[in-house]
Amino acid sequence: MTKFLTSKKILITGGAGFIGANFLYQVANSDNQFLVIDKLSYAGSLENIQRAIELENVEFCQLDIADKNRTHSIILDFQPDYIFHFAAESHVDNSIAGPEVFIQSNILGTFNLLECARSLQHFECFFHISTDEVFGELEVSEYFVESTAYDPHSPYSATKAASDHLVRAWGRTYGLPYIITNCSNNYGPYQHLEKLIPVVISKGLLGMPIPVYGNGQNERDWLFVDDHVSALVALAKNKRYFGSYNIGGDNVLTNNILVRKVCEKLDKLQPRDYQYSSLIEYVVDRPGHDLRYAIDSSKLQEHTGWKPKVQIDDGLERTIQWYLQHLINHESD
């Protein structure tokens, strides 16, 4: 159990999704009341949080935060002290194919939550979980800091940038306490199969081609989801509101290196009559694909003492073990 806040009412949006579910499992066994909301789209599932919502202090409500009237009714009835806003459409490819749902969820949904929050009686902080993609693309050896100018390059990152700006504006204009976190690429248990590491695992197990965009030289900073959760907990306990913090894993790798690491671990953990790396297939790059993201988390570390603990090899092994258990179990059901 993660030490957390005490005797508070906490709203978690997107709690049945990847990061929200991991956050809930880490904090639910604490002296707080939790209301978890999620619209249960393709990327969110009650199976992800079944054990947590069976606890007496956790309640679940299926809700689309783009529905203004119902969102206001449910949240104002619960009267949370804290909101942890994970809910978002987050898959870049999907945003390119159909951006409207990203505008509805990421912009309008965040607006609805902010309007609810400033109507609450004893509200303490709005935690807005965002992404490093709002900053655009880095040159070689550069790192994003909190003051890096916004330069989003996809419909997804543009809608997340817009929601970040809304949160800051509500803080400045209405005095709403907030923290914005811009995190690097998360990985770990419960991540949807559309994301890169689960794609490599699932395609590899099926003996199917493992797609890698372009030449595979795009660089990302990989953050194990448990480290992300511990950073949010540290910020909640620190209580320095009205600001933004970058959260990174100190694991910057090209997609080529990352995919081959996953393949090597699959060779060891679930051997087949082929090497998984033989399945790698380079495919046409997606539009607007940024070359490099990397996070400088020094402000967060200075203010809270937090540091990422999970190195990439350990995190990948834990992640692969989880997917092996769950994918194979589902195949045998």
Look at residue 42 in the predicted model and tell me its pLDDT. Answer: 85
Closest CA to 109 of 79, 72, 77, 67: 67
pLDDT, tens digit (0-9, with 9 covering 90-100), for 286-309? 998 999 999 999 999 999 999 999
Amino acid in position 223: L
- The structural domains of the chain, with segments of one domain joined by +, span 9-190+222-250+296-306
Which two tokens mark 125?
Answer: 């902080």
What angle is formed at CA 194 by the lines to CA 162 and CA 276, rounded to 5 degrees? 140
Which two tokens mark 259?
Answer: 């995919």
Query: Which sequence positions are flagged as catalytic?
Result: 132-133, 156
> CB–CB of 286/96 below 8 Å?
yes
Number of H helices, E strands in the chain: 12, 12
Which two tokens mark 196?
Answer: 């890169």
> CB–CB of 242/167 below 8 Å?
no
Residues, the chain: 333
Ordered per-residue pLDDT tens for the chain, 333 residues: 456 889 999 999 999 999 999 999 999 988 999 999 999 988 899 999 999 999 999 999 999 999 999 999 999 999 999 999 999 999 898 999 999 999 999 999 999 999 999 999 999 999 999 999 999 999 999 999 999 999 999 999 999 999 999 999 999 999 999 999 999 999 999 999 999 999 999 999 999 999 999 999 999 999 999 999 999 999 999 988 999 999 999 999 999 999 999 999 999 999 999 999 999 999 999 998 999 999 999 999 999 999 999 999 999 999 999 999 988 654 443
Which CATH superfamily is 9-190+222-250+296-306 part of? NAD(P)-binding Rossmann-like Domain (3.40.50.720)
> CB–CB of 185/223 below 8 Å?
yes
